[in-house]
Amino acid sequence: MSSNTTTDAARPSTSPSTGTSTSTVLGGEHYAAELVAAVRAATVAAALAAEVWFGRGDKNAADAAAVAAMRAELLPAPFAGYVVIGEGEKDEAPMLANGEELGSGEGPACDIAVDPLDGTRLVQEGLPGSVCVIALAPRGTLFDPRDVFYMDKLISSAPARGILDLRATPSQNVRRLAEALGKPVTEITVAVLDKPRHASLVAELRGVGARVVLAGEGDVSAAIDAATPGGRIDLAMGIGGTPEGVLTACAIRALGGFMEGRLAPQSDDQLRLALAAGHDLQRVLTLDDLVASDRVLFASTPVGAGESS
């Protein structure tokens, strides 16, 4: 599928950074230019608002600023939007709430998956890597992971389709991908979130000879790198946020990559909520399960490299 990437110069007076910003837009060919521009503008506004708090030690203030800026841009946008995936519930942080309606009501009816600030701790500590992200798909096509905030994920580029399997071991998947890409296992680079829960995963990957890149945050960015052919990351795996998982699925779908997921509650309370909601925790979710349409629109803008209007 085709994609559209937009790059502009960055010179916001409040930005702590220098250089150029890149707002990434995927799937723009599926929607009217006015709506694509509005969605992109929402991520840019959120990034600029979060930048004011860059390195100031208050991640909730940064998140709240990003949420308010993104909401202000989306409210008059030419669509009828319904938030299916809102970030913030698991951390009790500011959020665009599940079930919130956005847009002018004129234009296509869309599900919304949104993370106004993916990487709040990075902004808090003045570190690069955070992004402001939103995805749209036709109404009723986004997976709703009600009451489950974590997901085990396996993500790569197009050659992995029909090759990788979340039910296989990490070692098996690395070997399979190496064969599909035509290179040795020692040249396979795997992105994993730097969390205690991944200690055994990292040990297994390094044990088989793969190169592991640990990320403190930035679930979505690492996944997009993995799904982009020829990028620095070949594979992303491990347990991360479910909201980020659905957002990621929209980008992967637009890129033509591979993704599987499986819900992964991280506490007894989360397990009870998941079972009460009727989720099958053994089910491997494909891209078709996570976003049941090719008509996706994904936009993201990095924080620390925003742009003036």
Q: If phi over 0 gives left and psi between -120 and 50 gives alpha, with beta otherwise, what is residue 89? A: alpha
Short-list 130, 134, 113, CA closest to 53: 130
The answer to whether the annotation marks 244 as part of a ligand binding site is yes
CA distances 140 to 84, 211, 226, 244, 285, Å, are: 9, 39, 27, 18, 16
Give the 3-state DSSP-derived string for the chain, with helices as H, strands as E and coil as C: CCCEEEEEECCCCCCCCCCEEEEEEECHHHCCHHHHHHHHHHHHHHHHHHHCCCCCCCHHHHHHHHHHHHHHHHCCCCCEEEEEEECCHHHCCCCCCCCCEECCCCCCEEEEEEEEEECHHHHHCCCCCCEEEEEEEECCCECCCCCCCEEEEEEECHHHCCCCCCCCCHHHHHHHHHHHHCCCHHHCEEEEECCHHHHHHHHHHHHCCCEEEEECCCHHHHHHHHHCCCCCCCEEEEEEEHHHHHHHHHHHHHHCCEEEEEECCCCHHHHHHHHHCCCCCCCCEEHHHHECCCCCEEEEEECCCCCCC
The answer to whether the annotation marks 268 as part of a ligand binding site is no
- Tokens coding 14: 């409040």
The answer to whether the annotation marks 152 as part of a ligand binding site is no
Pairing of strands 101-102, 189-193: unpaired
Which positions make up the binding site? Answer: 63, 87, 115, 118, 244
- Output the known binding site for Mn(2+): 63, 87, 115, 118, 244
